[in-house]
Structure 1
Amino acid sequence: MKQDTKGQVFRIGDMLAPVLDDAQKAALAGASQMHFDFSSKAILDAAKAQTGLSDFGKMDFVERLDLWCECVEEDEFLSPVGRAGLWPMFVRYAATRLRVEDLCKRHPEILDIDIDSPIIVGGPPRSGTTHLLGLLSADTRLRSLPWWEAIAPVPAAEDAPTASDSNPRWTKAQAGWEQQDAVLPMMRYMHEFSPDHISEDIELQALDFSSYLIEWLAYVPRWRDYYLSHDQSGTYAYLKKGLQVLTFLKGPNRWVIKCPQHMEQLPVLYKTFPDATFVITHRDPVGSIRSTLSMALYASRVLRTKSDPEEPKGYWIDRYKTLLSRCVRDRDCLPEDQAIDVYFHEWIKNPDPILRQIYAKADLPLDEDTLQALHQYHRDHDPAVNGKVKFDLEGDFGLTAEDIRQHFQFYFDRFPVEVEVR
């Protein structure tokens, strides 16, 4: 049984020279014995064999899957554990796409379902978007995407409830979470993936083999450049299709979704969901980047063959510049009566006024009972009290806050973000 860690602050002291525990050594040893064919043919064939289906719908995604596979092979420091995680993930996305296309062929009325006035959260990674999404999801009038459903949105035959297991998809997600937690135990305090954790909608974008998802799992600058230079309308249309399928399967509640990537895709997001309420979070980039760099360096002990702070430093500071500069460029494309900017320094002091503003923008009544339910969620899931990792920017990365902040004056000029990290 896990001990109670509420209120504890953890410092990961071996970031630069990891001391692997038995679970990490076993994971690396086991994965090193595996072989994976990172080719679109092998992945699509595996998905066909898994599902018994063959129609992937529009096949333009194969170009993107090919590039994903090439980038994985080009990543010279991707560890066997990293490869062992990515290959079944690619197969899962392909198999889920087959199931989505099959369901839509059998029920073409799915594509006529309205995704009515969703609430969509975007913002820098590590800026509180996950907690805000979970908080809004505590409102039972809103439909969200728990992790167990995100990774298997269309149930397969083996996912049917049994006398001993009422939700096999949840059970599989729990097994995956326990496996990850055993290998990277500090990750639970940085980004949880338990079955009931509310997921980003990026899992539905990935069915079209796009998004910035694999940037978090491998070093893929060639994919980054391709993604940033290509219109994402088709992928966002597939996101909408995924929501239509889930609505068909489980009911018509109003959706609340989120993905940090939306911050750099505001025009296409608005085009896809023109009646949405858009909630854009903002935080001192140093606070967000410090967290991202630390999470990447911690995970590198099993996902990379080296733990080198220069690698995440060289990638993510510049990547945040692109993300935030596109938000500065495009923020005004969102109608003011449908959008709200949420500032981290205000949110952590008192979320209630901000919640009332969000609900007002969404034209959704916020009564006292609902507010109390949101308060209870906040008490149960507050990152500040459930145990957290203390990051050391200078000790682990040789950086000061100003070394990072100097790159983001354009962002502070546009949004009244408060300096958080000194």
Structure 2
Amino acid sequence: MNDGGFSALVVLDDLAAPRFSPGAAELLALMDSVADACPLDSAALHAQASAELGLGDFGPRDYEERLEVLLAAYRDAPRLSRAGRVNLHAQFLQLLKNRLLFTDLLRREPGIAGIELAPPVVIAGLPRTGTTHLLQLLAATGRFRTLPYWEGLEPFPLPGEAGVVPEPRRERTQAAVALMNDAMPHFARMHEMADADHVHEEIALLASDFSTMYFETLTEVPAWQEYYAGHDQAPHYRYLRLHLQALQHLRPGPAGAGRWLLKSPQHLEQLPVLAETFPGATVVITHRDPVHVVTSMATMVAYTDRMFSDPTDPAGTGRRWAARIERMLDALQRDRSALPPDRAVDLPFADLMADQLGAVERILAMAGERFDAAARSGAEAYLAGHAAGHLGRVDYRPELVGLDPDDLRRRFASYERRFLPSEEPLPVDN
């Protein structure tokens, strides 16, 4: 693997046989050694979460069926490693603790459900279509309430930690980011996660209701994919809305930033649910060459799969994500008309990159927000420090994840004709 600094063009030639730094190898060995104490068992996870927090009310228990399906799907994952089991155990434990803390907060603050939630601005585009870059750029205007990475992972403070400075949740997340960057040093080139304050997507909040496509990104879980696709997601989007109300109550946004800025690729196949849950929302749908999107997404998931699977299967990951993105785009073409014309815009990646400040101004105008001098200054400052490829680039090669570009072009022809009628320039990161 070429890793000659962030300026290098990196070819991820170890997807099928991962290589780790000494520190990352030591961490994985430690995780392997404690795997037997980390069962993917619902009763054990519930008991541990309750014991650690001293709380016992997880709220409405409808989520338990979903959790059982998820845990069974991961237990049956054909390549799940012992370190991967530990990773998953830690994530599910945290999600159950988040439920306990959320339920306790709602009990103590029953007025949260009545808090006004202004119509948000929502970025809904495929992974790898510039959604992360656009999210950070819009956030830099200072016009929105956003979700930092630390708050997405731990939305509610632990007992005794409310008001503690420095913020303990941020400190824990920062340590986790450092570990992630050591174990996967090229991940930042594909999806920049500079630190714990990085503006994050709200899919992490949906995860604590155990119904989101997030779980598909960790490793191969076909049973969960089938279950998730067969269920209405409206109740879980209402759960997300309640989360946003609670977070707004605990930590209001800065002055002049009254509405939320949201983003998740999941929204692309849930447009009617999104419109119903957030009436009046402004929705930005990003678009990009689907051959690049599939190759890039499959490469990123294949790279992170080393933290969950042994052996890895990059070709299988490529096939899986080609099919997954095809389903998402089928849903988009079916449901695009569910969004009010005056509250939704399609934004090709090429158009965004050709005039980024112009795109921001158009989005803010549609949302009824001012692109004043302060907002422009914030956006310009962000762009000055985040030129395309500023952390280096990955050389995305379809053959490394078992993909045939000609086959992909045929599969996505109808989407390209509708949303990308003109040729776009060479791809750039994120």
Structure-1-length-normalised TM-score: 0.94
Q: Deviations over 1:162-184 (max 9, x none)?
A: 5xx52111110110011111111
Task: Write the distance in 2 (CA, Å) between the matches of 1:356 and 1:141.
Answer: 12
Q: Do the aligned residues in 2 keep the contact of 1:393 with 1:400 (CA within 8 Å)?
A: yes
Q: CA deviation at 1:20?
A: 3.4
Q: Do the aligned residues in 2 keep the contact of 1:67 with 1:223 (CA within 8 Å)?
A: yes
1:40 maps to a residue whose letter is S
Q: Deviations over 1:303-355 (max 9, x none)?
A: 21113222112210000000111011001000011111111011112112221
Task: Write the distance in 2 (CA, Å) between the matches of 1:148 and 1:417.
Answer: 39
The 5-angstrom pairing of residues 168-317 of structure 1 reads 168-193=168-193, 194-251=195-252, 253-317=258-322
Q: CA deviation at 1:379?
A: 2.2
Q: Do the aligned residues in 1 keep the contact of 2:316 with 2:401 (CA within 8 Å)?
A: no
Task: Write the distance in 1 (CA, Å) between the matches of 2:331 and 2:93.
Answer: 32
Q: Do the aligned residues in 2 keep the contact of 1:281 with 1:341 (CA within 8 Å)?
A: yes
Q: CA deviation at 1:81?
A: 2.2
Task: Write the distance in 1 (CA, Å) between the matches of 2:103 and 2:306.
Answer: 38
Matched, 1:42 2:44: yes
Measured at CA, do residues 145 and 278 of structure 1 come closer, stay the same or move farther in structure 2, by a change above 3 Å? Answer: same
Q: CA deviation at 1:144?
A: 0.2
- Out of 407, 413, 416, which is 1:409 matched to? 413
Q: Deviations over 1:370-405 (max 9, x none)?
A: 1121021122233422322222223x1353422212
Map of 1:10 onto structure 2? 10
Q: Do the aligned residues in 2 keep the contact of 1:190 with 1:295 (CA within 8 Å)?
A: yes
Matched, 1:361 2:362: no
Task: Write the distance in 1 (CA, Å) between the matches of 2:4 and 2:374.
Answer: 29
Instruction: Please list every run of 5 or more consecutive structure 1 residues that lacks an aligned counterpart in the other structure.
Output: none
The 5-angstrom pairing of residues 122-133 of structure 1 reads 122-133=124-135
SS at match of 2:186: helix
Task: Write the distance in 1 (CA, Å) between the matches of 2:387 and 2:217.
Answer: 24
Q: Do the aligned residues in 2 keep the contact of 1:27 with 1:81 (CA within 8 Å)?
A: no
SS at match of 2:412: helix
Measured at CA, do residues 142 and 223 of structure 1 come closer, stay the same or move farther in structure 2, by a change above 3 Å? Answer: same
1:408 maps to a residue whose letter is F
Map of 1:322 onto structure 2? 327
SS at match of 1:280: strand
Deviates more, 1:381-390 or 1:145-154: 381-390
Task: Write the distance in 1 (CA, Å) between the matches of 2:86 and 2:171.
Answer: 21
2:123 maps to a residue whose letter is V
Q: CA deviation at 1:369?
A: 2.8
SS at match of 1:185: coil
Instruction: Please list every run of 5 or more consecutive structure 2 residues that lacks an aligned counterpart in the other structure.
Output: none
Q: Do the aligned residues in 2 keep the contact of 1:345 with 1:418 (CA within 8 Å)?
A: no
Q: CA deviation at 1:361?
A: 0.7
Q: Do the aligned residues in 1 keep the contact of 2:287 with 2:349 (CA within 8 Å)?
A: yes
Identity among equivalent pairs (%): 36
Deviates more, 1:396-405 or 1:211-220: 396-405
Q: CA deviation at 1:415?
A: 1.3
Q: Deviations over 1:81-132 (max 9, x none)?
A: 2211111111111111111111111111100012112101110011111111
1:342 maps to a residue whose letter is L
Map of 2:120 onto structure 1? 118
Map of 1:58 onto structure 2? 60
Count residues in correspondence. 417
Map of 1:142 onto structure 2? 144
Matched, 1:20 2:20: yes
Q: CA deviation at 1:232?
A: 0.3
Map of 1:105 onto structure 2? 107
Q: Do the aligned residues in 1 keep the contact of 2:112 with 2:246 (CA within 8 Å)?
A: yes
2:118 maps to a residue whose letter is D
1:281 maps to a residue whose letter is T
Task: Write the distance in 1 (CA, Å) between the matches of 2:423 and 2:316.
Answer: 26
Q: Deviations over 1:270-315 (max 9, x none)?
A: 0000111111111111111111121122223342111322211221
Task: Write the distance in 2 (CA, Å) between the matches of 1:247 and 1:351.
Answer: 29
Q: CA deviation at 1:21?
A: 3.0
Q: Deviations over 1:134-181 (max 9, x none)?
A: 11111223100000111111111353455xx52111110110011111
Structure-2-length-normalised TM-score: 0.92
Q: Do the aligned residues in 2 keep the contact of 1:71 with 1:223 (CA within 8 Å)?
A: yes
Map of 2:83 onto structure 1? 81
Q: CA deviation at 1:418?
A: 4.5
2:411 maps to a residue whose letter is H
Task: Write the distance in 1 (CA, Å) between the matches of 2:163 and 2:9.
Answer: 40
Q: Do the aligned residues in 2 keep the contact of 1:343 with 1:417 (CA within 8 Å)?
A: no
Task: Write the distance in 2 (CA, Å) between the matches of 1:274 and 1:289.
Answer: 31
Task: Write the distance in 2 (CA, Å) between the matches of 1:398 and 1:92.
Answer: 34
Deviates more, 1:28-37 or 1:168-177: 28-37
2:170 maps to a residue whose letter is W
Task: Write the distance in 2 (CA, Å) between the matches of 1:393 and 1:378.
Answer: 30
Q: CA deviation at 1:27?
A: 2.7
Task: Write the distance in 2 (CA, Å) between the matches of 1:303 and 1:417.
Answer: 39
Task: Write the distance in 2 (CA, Å) between the matches of 1:160 and 1:261.
Answer: 31
Measured at CA, do residues 259 and 288 of structure 1 come closer, stay the same or move farther in structure 2, by a change above 3 Å? Answer: same
